[in-house]
Amino acid sequence: MSQKNTLITIVGATAIGKTALSIKLAQHFNCDIISCDSRQFYKEMTIGTAVPVPEELDAAPHHFIQNRSIFEDYSVGQFEKDALKTLDILFIKNPVQIMVGGSGLYVDAVLKGLDYFPNVDSQIRIDLTTELENKGIEHLQNQLKSLDLEAYNTIAIDNPHRLIRALEICIGTGKTYSSFKNKPKTPRNFQSIKIGLKADREIMYDRINRRVDIMIENGLIEEAKKLHPHKNLNALQTVGYRELFEYFEGNFTKEFAIEEIKKNSRRFAKRQGTWFRKDANTIWFDFQEDVQNIIKAIENKL
């Protein structure tokens, strides 16, 4: 078995079982877990982001779980630097480490590095933000669809921050946002083994619907109510919170808000699938696969 530094990364759609698998693998390899979920960084958001429960957190050492506040700006670029620094320390004690998460951009930032985008006139962002407020998110989504279909199909278009970022590059440079992506990056000092979990669509959607029901039972409405005064913060432009804010403001009934959370979570899972399937090197397993078979596949690559 090679002693080369190796990062085992577990990807897949929301509610597919990534956390449970990461803990089993961390216990087998006696290593730590880097969380790569861009919403689990925030300590004020617990229920709606499906943060691992205390028993799960105790079962293996975790990093980047609720280590930030929603009141701090925390970019994917900063996460890339922090995660690489943490990995350098962890690899000293064990050449195998694990990363887990459903945020494709954050996974790619650690494994490959970020793309470079030129600076554009800051007025463009101000104008797009005004358009968002006056005409709604769908107007901006349609704009991106006409300017850069590839970006429309791959970025988190329900996230206003990501949507405006892609549009400002298209408008400010006259080129597509996609054209700046996938350029050569700084090589990593570790090899990567990517494990993907999948399920039939009906099963996946059922798991998502059940997870939302459990979140509601566990107090998601109360959690969102506390966060409602800060609804414009970037961290809160998130499925599960946005819909409840609409309910608090009288735009949705409670039942409709819950159905919207389920619908938008299913859409998010579909986009995650599109993003993660792009990497031909990912080894895919059914979410119910015996963990020993997954361990065997990993050890064959080490």
Could you tell me which residues are annotated as the binding site?
A: 12-19
The per-residue b/e assignment along 30-68, b for 16 or more CB within 10 angstroms, e otherwise, is ebbbbbbbbbbbbebbbbbbbbbeeebbebbebbbbbeb
Secondary structure in 3-state letters for the chain: CCCCCEEEEEEECCCCCHHHHHHHHHHHHCCCEEECCCCCCECCCCCCCCCCCHHHHHHCCEECCCCECCCCCCCHHHHHHHHHHHHHHHHHHCCEEEEECCCHHHHHHHHCCCCCCCCCCHHHHHHHHHHHHHHCHHHHHHHHHHHCHHHHHHCCCCCHHHHHHHHHHHHHHCCCHHHHCCCCCCCCCCEEEEEEEECCHHHHHHHHHHHHHHHHHCCHHHHHHHHHHHCCCHHHCCCCCHHHHHHHCCCCCHHHHHHHHHHHHHHHHHHHHHHHHCCCCCEEEECCCCHHHHHHHHHHHC
Which residues define the annotated binding site for ATP? Answer: 12-19
Binding residue positions for substrate: 14-19
> CA 240, 244, 246, 250: dihedral to nearest 10 degrees?
160
In the numeric block, which tokens belong to residue 135?
């005409």
